[in-house]
Amino acid sequence: MIRRARGSGEALKDFPLFGVMSAAVFGFLYLPLLFVVGYSFNENRVVTVWKGFTFDWYVDVLQNDDIQRALMNSLRVATVATALSVLFALGLAIGMLRLARAGSTLAWGLIGAPLIIPEIVFAIGTLSLFVQVRFSLGVDAITLAHTAFCIPFALLPIRARLRSVDLSVYEAAADLGANEWRIFRRITLPLLVPGIVAGALLAFIISLDDFIVSYFLAGPGGTTLPVYIFGMIRNAITPGVNALSTLLLLVSVLIVSISYVISRRKR
């Protein structure tokens, strides 16, 4: 009885030290990223030996021609891969609602495959495919491969949204004489917009951040930003790597936050 009175409410659910341990895990999740950001302002060429505060590395990095080219490649790949994967995902989300159970298991296996297959195997597999059909490596090859593994990321928010739609709105539209295409364009699509936007944002960062597949498919002219950063890490680590990484981190965090806000709204 005494324990009950003292521990009434939330405290009963608490276990000793779990709060402290959780704080430690959150620290473990965020400190490494904060170190990357912090050292990007280091005046010293030796990343981890602090000398003084400067923005010079950002200026340095943003004025570098190779980095600008890599950035343009990354943006081009991510934009096209996002657009393509969202279109495929939209079709899949709608088509899968009606697929028979047996077919649906197979289809889900195929859609989930890019998430399960080790990324290195997917990378050398697409490399082998492109070499075999003599498709030249570079930005286009990367785009085609990225589209494949962006599909599951684009699909899940769209599917979640589609399943939450009340089917009676379709019936109402059909009763009022709308045909299939009109129903899709005027009802389904507008209802799906939050899912489509959330899916597109996720596909975009997954493509933008990808390293392994891009690395194998880059060829001579297809260097993307992560591939360039990998080269920097391999050759000479300066706070410039941190500055570039910080910018990429910012974009990722910003985009995933927007996606989060959108998919939480009106659920």
In the range 81-140, which residues lie near another protein by CB under 8 A?
87-92, 94-99, 107, 110-111, 113-114, 116-122, 124-129, 131-132
Interface residue with another protein, options 59, 62, 136, 180 (CB under 8 A): 180
The DSSP secondary-structure symbol of 211 reads -
Quick count: other Cβ atoms within 10 Å of Cβ 6?
Answer: 9
Cα–Cα distance for residue pair 210/225, rounded to 1 Å:
9
- Sequence-distant (6+) residues with CB within 8 A of 22 are none
Interface residue with another protein, options 59, 236, 253, 258 (CB under 8 A): 253
Nearer to another protein, 98 or 266 (CB): 98
Cα–Cα distance for residue pair 92/79, rounded to 1 Å:
20
Supply the minimum distance, in Å, between the C-beta of residue 71 and another protein.
14
Rg (alpha carbons) of the chain, rounded to whole number: 24
Point out which span in 14-22, 52-60, 61-69, 75-83 binds another protein (CB under 8 A). 14-22
Supply the minimum distance, in Å, between the C-beta of residue 56 and another protein.
18
183-202 positions binding another protein, by CB under 8 A: 183-184, 187-188, 198, 202
Supply the minimum distance, in Å, between the C-beta of residue 94 and another protein.
4
Binding flag, residue 166, another protein (CB under 8 A): no
Cβ-in-10-Å burial (0-12, 13-18, 19+) of 133 comes to exposed
The two structure tokens encoding residue 25: 């895990």
Supply the minimum distance, in Å, between the C-beta of residue 204 and another protein.
11
The two structure tokens encoding residue 240: 């410039």
Question: Contact, 36 vs 23, CB < 8 A?
Answer: no
Supply the minimum distance, in Å, between the C-beta of residue 266 and another protein.
15
Cα–Cα distance for residue pair 197/106, rounded to 1 Å:
27
Supply the minimum distance, in Å, between the C-beta of residue 113 and another protein.
5
Point out which span in 34-42, 52-60, 62-70, 75-83 binds another protein (CB under 8 A). 34-42
Point out which span in 18-26, 55-63, 65-73, 75-83 binds another protein (CB under 8 A). 18-26
What are the Cα distances from residue 253, in Å, to 52, 68, 247?
27, 21, 10
